């Protein structure tokens, strides 16, 4: 199996106790963990492009109209992109509109089956956007979404040996698009050079590249 970079946009440690996602809790105690620091305003496109270009891309102020050249991390790891929110609809093998028209279940099922299909052939970079798409307006279904995501993560990690699961920022804090908690989740099968530092958003791409190249995949 090849390595996986899975972004779960808006996933937050602050809801772990309330929603009790069992698989994520297990990973929390059994993998290398960290805190992603991403100051306001946080947008999916600039955050994900910072990961994919392996440098800060704060100047990007909207979804890209199209992808002329594959982002650097995808080129250098030869990874399959799935549902990456740098364009609208999202970019890669699953493409959904970045709004609430696609249900949480549908997105998770499509992303899950796509990851499981490709991870045997190539590294995969995938995103689940449900928390960010739905919790800006209504947080009442939060733990239900966490439960669906947790189930998907359980199925994924049972198949994948090496992974980085992260969120580029925490949960939405208001209806405003760029308003999220500044701290995101980082759980990985590889250690970081300085674990007593927060994880920079661009560092995630660099770590995934190391994971792919270091593992000689």
Partner 1 sequence: MTDELNDPELQKILSKKMKQILSESISDEEEKEIVKHLDSKNFDDFIRKNKVAVIDFWAEWCAPCLILAPIIEELAKDYPQVGFGKINSDENPDIAARYGVMSLPTLIFFKNGEPVDEILGAVPREEIEYRLKMLLIR
Interface characters, 4-23, with partner 1 (x: CB under 8 A): --------xxxxxxx-----
Query: In the sheet that 163-166 helps form, which strands lie side by side, from edge to edge?
Result: 80-82, 124-128, 4-8, 163-166, 183-188, 32-37, 199-200
Q: Look at residue 4 and give its three-state secondary structure.
A: strand
Positive/negative CA dihedral, 195, 191, 80, 136 = negative
Q: Which is nearer to partner 1, 20 or 103 (CB)?
A: 20
Interface characters, 157-176, with partner 1 (x: CB under 8 A): -----------------xx-
Q: Which is nearer to partner 1, 23 or 87 (CB)?
A: 23
Q: How long a stretch of residues is the chain? A: 217
Q: Which is nearer to partner 1, 34 or 44 (CB)?
A: 34
| Residue ranges in 33-72 that form contacts with partner 1 under rule CB under 8 A | 33-35, 37
C-beta of residue 133 within 8 angstroms of C-beta of residue 145: no
**Region from 80-88, 101-109, 148-156, 189-197 binding partner 1, contact rule CB under 8 A:** 189-197
Minimum distance, C-beta of residue 47 to partner 1, in the bound complex (Å): 18
Spatial CA neighbour of 163 closest among 215, 109, 107: 215
Minimum distance, C-beta of residue 18 to partner 1, in the bound complex (Å): 7
Q: Which is nearer to partner 1, 7 or 34 (CB)?
A: 34
| Residue ranges in 124-153 that form contacts with partner 1 under rule CB under 8 A | none
Minimum distance, C-beta of residue 81 to partner 1, in the bound complex (Å): 27
Give yes or no for residue 190 binding partner 1 (CB under 8 A).
Answer: no
C-beta of residue 28 within 8 angstroms of C-beta of residue 176: no
Q: Which is nearer to partner 1, 119 or 135 (CB)?
A: 135
79-93 burial, b at 16+ Cβ within 10 Å, e below that, comes to bbbbbbbbbbebbbb
Kindly give, in sequence order, each residue whose CB lies less than 8 Å from that of residue 145, ignoring residues fewer than 6 positions away. Answer: 104, 130, 131, 134, 135
**Region from 26-34, 85-93, 98-106, 206-214 binding partner 1, contact rule CB under 8 A:** 26-34
d(CA 139, CA 135): 5
Q: Which parts of this chain interact with partner 1 (CB under 8 A)?
A: 12-18, 28, 33-35, 37, 174-175, 183, 185-186, 195-198
């Amino acid at each position: 199996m090849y390595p996986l970079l899975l972004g779960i946009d808006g996933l937050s440690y602050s809801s772990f106790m309330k929603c009790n996602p069992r698989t994520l809790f297990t990973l929390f105690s059994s993998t290398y963990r960290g805190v992603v620091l991403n100051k306001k305003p946080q947008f999916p496109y600039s955050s994900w492009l910072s990961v994919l270009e392996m440098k800060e891309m704060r100047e990007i102020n909207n979804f890209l109209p199209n992808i002329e050249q594959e982002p650097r991390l995808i080129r250098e790891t030869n990874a399959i992109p799935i549902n990456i929110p740098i364009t609208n609809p999202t970019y890669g093998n699953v493409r959904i509109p970045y709004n609430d028209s696609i249900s949480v279940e549908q997105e998770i099922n499509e992303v899950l089956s796509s990851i499981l299909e490709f991870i045997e052939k190539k590294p995969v970079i995938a995103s689940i956007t449900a928390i960010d798409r739905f919790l800006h307006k209504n947080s009442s279904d939060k733990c239900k979404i966490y439960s669906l995501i947790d189930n998907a993560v359980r199925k994924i990690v049972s198949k994948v040996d090496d992974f980085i699961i992260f969120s580029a920022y925490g949960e939405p804090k208001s209806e405003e698009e760029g308003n999220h908690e500044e701290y995101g989740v980082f759980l990985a099968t590889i250690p970081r050079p300085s674990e007593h530092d927060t994880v920079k958003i661009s560092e995630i791409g660099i770590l995934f590249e190391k994971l792919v190249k270091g593992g000689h995949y």
